[in-house]
Amino acid sequence: MPSLEVPIPDLESELKGLLAQIPAGRVTTYGDLADALGLRTAARWVGEFLREHEHPAACPCHRVVRKDGELGLYRRDHDPAEKADKLRREGVGVANGVVEAFSEVLFRNFQSDKPLARLIELQHQLARRVRLEPYDVTPRMIAGLDVSYAGDGVAIGACAVVETDSGRLVWSTTCRRRAALPYIPSLLTFRELPALLSLFEETRRQFPEVDLFLVDGNGILHPRGAGIAACFGVVAEVPTIGVAKSFLCGRLEVDAPAINGCCPVTIEGKPGHRTTVGAVLQRRPEAHRLYVSPGHRTDVASAVRIAGLLDFGHRLPEALFWADRLSRREARRLIDDSPL
């Protein structure tokens, strides 16, 4: 099975290792821990994990505060005053919910290989391997890939193969596995890619003639040019198109020439130059907007054309409509069957 060149880190273990480095009598911030992991935008996940994780007696997470010295959240099932009491017992002054002499007790000297920074570098490498080229054929069948979640980090992937001319569902499959990474903005690829690759292998065994995959998510319409559809396409070496339901980045060029009837989306490249990386697909005034971009071995015009061919009245192109429906249904079933 195709695989990534860099292993996906166990981020919870990495964070626990950083927590263990904070000395008694010192504090750090959620953002500083995220920086030590290699990406500042991981700070929100850091805070959520510290609030929800198991707290053994020696857990040092009470030493993590907000960037202005406010204590912030603590264990969900404990009195927030307990955090202040623990810090005071270690010699950290706290008054009115704020760390005193904050700059003097702030600890940032973490020893870390910054695992998220390694993933970002891998994204840049994959972006450089993307090939943008016309996809001029109209395949008889097209596959759609989507991932939903059933709680506790369980990822449910689904693939749906449909006939291009009728939209008829020909075949589908699902897979279940632990999400490889928690949700961190701009790193969705590494959360979902293992599930997509597993679905790809099974689809190719059943339908070796299927050569084009639509992916729920962005292609090159991404801050690093490496959304999930682009990375999946490069790793699997297959033509891909990204279809996203929300606008991640870029600018709508409402005054520019339309691409197959759709408004182009650009991002800034070299100074003073913007590159077209996708388009807004909205076939009917009442329809939701979709943001379509090439992933690999397609281009913007091809991506818009193919996505438009699969418009059979649903919000999503038909292959993704079925993949979305199947993954959500399986996720709901697992949640309903879970013991209380």
Identity at 256, one-letter amino acid code: A
> How many C-beta atoms lie closer than 10 Å to residue 122's C-beta?
18
Give the burial class of 153: count Cβ atoms within 10 A of its Cβ; 0-12 exposed, 13-18 middle, 19 or more buried.
middle
59 is catalytic: no
Q: Are 188 and 244 in contact (CB under 8 A)?
A: no
Which secondary structure element, helix H or strand E, spans residue 217, and what is its range? Answer: none
Nearest to 326 by CA among 147, 141, 142: 147
Catalytic residue among 59, 61, 159, 231: 61
The token pair that represents 241 in the structure block: 């198109």
Q: How far apart are CA 212 and CA 232, in angstroms?
A: 12
Other beta carbons less than 10 A from residue 5's beta carbon:
8
Task: Note whether 174 and 327 are within 8 A (CB).
Answer: yes
**Which residues are tagged catalytic?**
61
